[in-house]
Every structure is written in C-alpha cells, then in structure tokens.
Amino acid sequence: MSEIFTQDLVKWLDENLKPHLYQDYAPNGLQVQGKSLIKKVILGVTASQALLEKAIEHRADAVIVHHGWFWKNEDVRIVGTKYQRLALAIRHEINVIGYHLPLDAHPEWGNNAQLAKVLDLQPFYDEQGLPQTCGKGGLVWTGSVASGELTLTELGVLISQRLEREPLLIGDKNKKIKKVAWCTGGAQGWFQDAIEAGADAYITGEASEQVFHLAQETGAAFISAGHHATERYGIQALGNALIDRFGIEALFVDIPNPV
C-alpha cells in the first residue's frame, strides 16, 4: 500500500490547485495538522462532524474537503461545535485539508468543470483552452446545453435525474435554453453577470429572494439545483487524481444534505 508524507501531499495539492490565485473566504490547504504520513484519505463536501466520524471509522489519516473550517467573519473562539470537530480531528490525528474556490474553478477537477460533465453542458473555451467565464472573480462558467436546445422544463428534468434532487426552476417553463451559465454552490449573487453574458439560464446551488424578480424582469431563467448537490463532483475528481498520482486510498463519502 502506498503512502505519502502529509507535507508532500499538500505541496502537490497547492501546486495543482493554486490557492494563491484566489481571494478566498477560508484558508486553503492544510487547516489542521495530523499524522505526518498519509495512507488513506476520506473526501467529502464539508468537514462536518459526521464526515470526521466516517474518517475515524475508516481509520483515515486525512479528510480533504471543499468546505473546510475557519471562515472569514466567524467567531474565532474554539467552543461548541467548532470545539467538538477540532477535538475529534486532533484526538485522532486526522489532517484536515480544505480547498474552497480553487476547487470550484480548477479547469479539470473543479466543481464547475465536473458539474458540466454531469449535466452534459458544453463549456465555451478561449483560444488558450481556458473556460470562458463571466462576472467578477471569473468563477461563472458559460457554455451550451449538449443537445443544442432544451426547454426549461426539459433542463429541469435532466438536472433532477442527474443530481437526484428536484431543482427550483424560476422562469417560463417553455423558454428555449441554448446558452447557459453556471457556478456551483451559493453563487446566486452572480445571476446578473450571467444575464449580462447572454445566458438563457443560470444554474447554481442556492436561491435568494431577489433572483425571482431578476428572472421575471429580464426573462432569463434561474435554476437552484442544491448547494451540496452541485458540489459533490469536484472533490471526487480530486480523489481520483490522488489515486492515479500517488496510489493512496482515497474514498469519497457523501453525507447527504438537502440544501
């Protein structure tokens, strides 16, 4: 069985995911130090207590997640659930490794790239082969539906089948959708950017009250397909990359979340 030093694994992850390119809401990379040698990792969307318990059950040496810990503006005190999670990780010497925006944006393993595969979206690429994005931060991808055109209802059916979760569809159900923009997770704030980029529909994970009015007043469709549901795929792609590159055990554990 293969193993790798924690510092070498994190170095490789940093080299590939390039966290220095992002102004993120949480630290990327190694967030809590654990064992110095890693044979097995558990991957998940969020470093919740439930995921840590799975990691302990599997005798994993690290958890690698999209939503790690220590978010900007959160209470810095180590009390309550934060203490419980941290104590569990430290007691079992589990490294907690998180990559947030770098794992949304990575051109191959990223949540946006992987969601496109799951939903048969065809990203637009520029001459350098990079995804054509819109909006501030360059995290919203643009592309077309694979079949060329779908009604909003048909796109909704496809999403519910692929993500196994009923999406919230806002807009004329018979509207023809050709060009789409998408950004996984809580990216409803970029709906306007998607509209300005000419998208017939914008797909993201969550919704806010004002997106309804924006959809009504512009005619663009808005689809909220689930924060968790849209962000399950990047971390799995990363896990497969770790298996290919290092031959360590890497297991994705889904902790279902209706949001």
Enumerate binding residues for Zn ion (CB under 5 A): 185, 231
**Minimal CA–CA distance to 141: which of 58, 202, 57?**
202
Closer CB to Zn ion, 187 or 214, in the complex:
187
- Of 156 and 234, CB closest to Zn ion: 234
Token pair in block for residue 195: 């509209």
Q: Cβ closer to Zn ion: 145 or 207? A: 207
The nearest distance, CB 231 to Zn ion, in angstroms, is 5
Q: Compute the least distance from the CB of residue 227 to Zn ion, in Å.
A: 6
Nearer to Zn ion, 54 or 227 (CB): 227
Which residue number is nearest to Zn ion in terms of Cβ?
A: 185
Task: For residues 31 and 100, give the distance between their C-alpha atoms in angstroms, rounded to a whole number.
Answer: 12
Q: How far is the CB of 3 from Zn ion (least distance, A)?
A: 30
CA gyration radius for the chain?
19
Beta bridge partner(s), residue 233: none
Residues 6+ apart with CB under 8 A from 102: 17, 18, 19, 21, 22, 24, 28, 110
Min dist CB 48 to Zn ion, Å, is 13
Q: How far apart are CA 256 and CA 259, in angstroms?
A: 9
Minimum CB distance to Zn ion, residue 178 (Å) = 27
Q: How many CA atoms lie within 13 A of 126 on its CB side?
A: 8
Instruction: Give the nearer residue to Zn ion in terms of CB position, either 222 or 246.
Output: 222
Element (H, E) at 23: none
Sign of CA dihedral 206, 227, 98, 70: positive
CA distance 164 to 23: 32
For residue 245, the minimal CB distance to Zn ion (Å) is 25
Closer residue to Zn ion, CB minimum distance, 193 or 231: 231
